Structure 1
Amino acid sequence: MPVMHFKVQWPDGSEANCYSPSTVVGEFFVAGQRYALGDFVERAREALHIGSERVREKYGFACSAAMDQLAQIEELAQRFATDPHAEVKVVELI
């Protein structure tokens, strides 16, 4: 199953490399695009759940790495949750 990574820039300028077990993430994000924090988290949640389910369909078990990545995204997003103008930039899809 082809994996995809996506590099994001958080509102404080820090960057993170994120993992998806499926190329489906490319249907939810565009490289260079900025997303409102809540929108970014929702898109990531949906993409990573779909990716995890694709793994389940193929191998019979969900992708724990996708769920770990989602948990990390949600945890990092909490740091910026009080800023109504917080945006996350998708730097690149790899």
Structure 2
Amino acid sequence: MPEMQFQIRWPDGTEAACYSPSLVIKDYLKVGETYTLSDFLDKSRTALNIASDRVRAKYGFPCGRAMGQLQVLESTAAQYQGLANPTVDVLAFVE
């Protein structure tokens, strides 16, 4: 499966490299776009679950790295929930 990373910027300006086991993330996030925190989480959750399911279909088990990445995104996002209108920028895809 074609793994890739997607680079993001959190509301406080911190940048992060995130993992996806599939290119499906490109169907949900676009480079140069800014998403509300909740929209970013919804799109990431959907894409990473689809990617994990693709790994399960091919190898017989879900992708632990994808689920771990989702957990990191959700726990990091929780830090910004109290901000007024927090957003996440998608900076790049690295294939």
TM-score range, shorter-chain basis?
A: over 0.9
Q: Which secondary structure state, in structure 1, belongs to the residue aligned with residue 81 of structure 2?
A: coil
Matched with 2:34 is 34
- Aligned: 1:81 with 2:84: no
Identity of aligned residues (%): 45
**Runs of 5+ unmatched residues, structure 2:** none
Listed as ranges, the matches of 1:9-20 within 5 Å are: 9-20=9-20
The alignment's C-alpha RMSD in Å is 0.6
* 1:83 to partner: Cα distance: 1.6
Q: Which secondary structure state, in structure 1, belongs to the residue aligned with residue 92 of structure 2?
A: strand
Matched with 1:91 is 91
Q: Which secondary structure state, in structure 2, belongs to the residue aligned with residue 12 of structure 1?
A: coil
* 1:84 to partner: Cα distance: 3.3
* 1:82 to partner: Cα distance: 1.1
Cα distance in 2 for partners of 1:31, 1:84 equals 23
**Runs of 5+ unmatched residues, structure 1:** none
Question: Which stretch of structure 1 is more off in the superposition, 84-93 or 48-57?
Answer: 84-93
Matched with 1:66 is 66
* 1:93 to partner: Cα distance: 1.1
Number of equivalenced pairs: 94
